[in-house]
Amino acid sequence: MVLESRPENMQRINGPALAQAYIDERIAMLREQIGEKKVLLALSGGVDSSVVAAMLIRAIGRQLTCVHVNHGLLRKGEPEQVIRVFRDEMDANLIYVDAVDRFLDKLAGVADPETKRKIIGAEFIEVFAEEARKLDGISFLGQGTIWPDILESEAGIKAHHNAGGLPEDLRFELVEPVRILFKDEVRMVGRALGLPESMVERQPFPGPGLGVRCPGAITRERLEAVRESDAILREEFAAAGLAGKVWQYFTVVPDFKSTGIRDGRRTFEWPVIIRAINTTDAMSATVEELPFALMQKLVGRITSEVKGVNRVLYDFTPKPCATIEYE
Ligand code: XMP
């Protein structure tokens, strides 16, 4: 099979009209390629897989089966949003797999960052493969590969392992309808397909999810503190008009406790660390200068609403010498 490359003279998709033209062309191509056959897609809820899902739903409707694996490391409200948008609003054939206990049990007591990543990656493939084997007559695998993935793997910067990992018996022919697009173009196409702004403009989110923001061995309690504090941070950034302006922002709950005081009594609880950075390529990053009033609001809400937390810190470190994530 000849893999498609972005034509050198391709015009940048920078508005709704070009996005619509791209969608019309791709839908015709997808119908031609797929015919009456069936396609399987791992739908994480990230920008790329969501746009691929929306495009395939337009093209082939219920010949597409989406599998959304909830590994317990997603942000607050994300699995619900995937179900609402794709199953309820777009009438997709969506299999929701609650694999939270499976992942968290496997990760229990594992503190090494690379081992955690490997477990999450391997378990994901295992869960997805189990679901794929339950289905009959799948011919194609949909993938959210985008043009920078190809460029980066060619340049040896990052192994493009979207396709890798699936066992031999599940090597389907690939369907990659956004393969030749840059990220801003994928967003433009997603918008034209009617995906909600919160999905199209989603910040980068690591594959291992909140797992790398709960440094060391993950516990359910500390993970919940990460999820709840992240939700508050996103709400307050949106209210302050910073969502979409700051490149990436999130919270981390490290595995140590410090002394505090609440209602006249001593507490011994975790801190929440806030990270808010700007970058163009994630290779280097600067720290956002947050308004003091916003920081005070965040401290107030996080320490009163998030269980087990008595302190809020702001990480002022650029990349380098710190990386963006903590693991
Ligand atoms: P670092 O921490 O290396 O992060 O400065 C750079 C960017 O990459 C994201 N990131 C990941 N994305 N899987 C991913 O898909 C990962 O394991 C991973 N680790 C980091 C990070 O969120 C940031 O945008």
- Omega before 177 cis (within 30°)? no
* Burial readout 269-280 (b: 16 or more C-beta within 10 A, e: otherwise): bbbbbbbbbeee
Q: Which residue's CA is minimally distant from atom 7 of ligand 1?
A: 282
List the residue whose alpha carbon is closest to atom 6 of ligand 1.
282
Mean pLDDT of the chain: 95
Ligand 1 atom with minimal separation from the 327 CA: 2
Distance CA 118, CA 144 (A): 21
Query: For ligand 1, atom 16, which residue shows the shortest CA distance?
Result: 206
Question: How many Cβ atoms are within 10 Å of 116's Cβ, its own excluded?
Answer: 23
Question: Any alpha helices (H) in 137-195, and if so which ranges?
Answer: 147-154, 183-192
- Say if strands 286-287 and 265-278 run parallel, antiparallel, or are unpaired: antiparallel
List, for residues 70-108, the tens digit of each pLDDT value: 999 999 999 999 999 999 999 999 999 999 999 999 999
* Contact between 55 and 189 (Cβ < 8 Å): yes
The residue nearest atom 19 of ligand 1, judged by CA position, is 206
* 180 CA from centroid of ligand 1 (Å): 22
pLDDT band at 161 (very low <50, low <70, confident <90, very high): low
Q: Average pLDDT of 141-167?
A: 81
CA of 297 to the centre of ligand 1 (A): 28
Please report the pLDDT score of residue 163 as a whole number.
53
| Of the listed ranges 58-62, 117-121, 153-157, 159-163, the one predicted with least confidence | 159-163
Given the CA of residue 323, which atom of ligand 1 is nearest to it?
5
The 10 Å Cβ neighbour count of residue 91 is 11
Distance 291 CA to ligand 1 centre (A): 26
Candidate from 324, 326, 327 with most ligand 1 atoms within 8 A of CB, to mutate:
324
pLDDT band at 155 (very low <50, low <70, confident <90, very high): confident
Three-class SS of residue 190?
helix
Token duo for residue 231: 């939700």
Sign of the four-CA dihedral 164, 170, 145, 231: negative
Smallest CA separation from ligand 1 atom 14, residue: 206
325 residue type, one letter: E
Q: Please write the tens of the pLDDT for every residue from 259-270.
A: 999 999 999 999
| Cα–ligand 1 centroid distance for 162 (angstroms) | 15
Asked whether the predicted pLDDT for residue 319 surpasses 80, the reply is yes
Pairwise CA distance, residues 117 & 207, whole Å: 9
The atom of ligand 1 lying closest to the CA of 208 is 17
Distance 90 CA to ligand 1 centre (A): 30
146 half-sphere exposure, CB direction, 13 A CA radius: 16
Distance of alpha carbon 257 from alpha carbon 263, whole angstroms: 18
Question: Which residues line ligand 1 at a C-beta cut-off of 6 Å?
Answer: 117, 204, 206-208, 248, 282, 319, 323-325
pLDDT tens across 168-202, in order? Answer: 888 899 999 999 999 999 999 999 999 999 999 99
Gap between the Cα atoms of 92 and 83, Å rounded: 9
- If one residue of 325, 326, 327 were mutated to test the ligand 1 pocket, choosing by the most ligand atoms within 8 A of its CB, it would be 325
Q: Give the position, in ligand 1's atom list, of the atom nearest the Cα of 117.
A: 17
pLDDT of the residue at 52: 98
Region of 128 please: left (phi>0), alpha (psi -120 to 50) or beta. Answer: alpha
As a 3-state breakdown, the chain gives helix, strand, coil percent values, each rounded to 5, of 45, 20, 40
**CA contacts within 13 A on the Cβ side of 266:** 4
* Ligand 1 atom having least distance to the Cα of 285: 5
Can you tell me which atom of ligand 1 is nearest the CA of 248?
A: 24
Neighbours of 100 (CB within 10 A): 17
Distances in whole angstroms, Cα of residue 140 to Cα of each of 22, 136, 209, 233? 21, 12, 27, 39
Q: Which atom of ligand 1 is nearest to the CA of 203?
A: 24
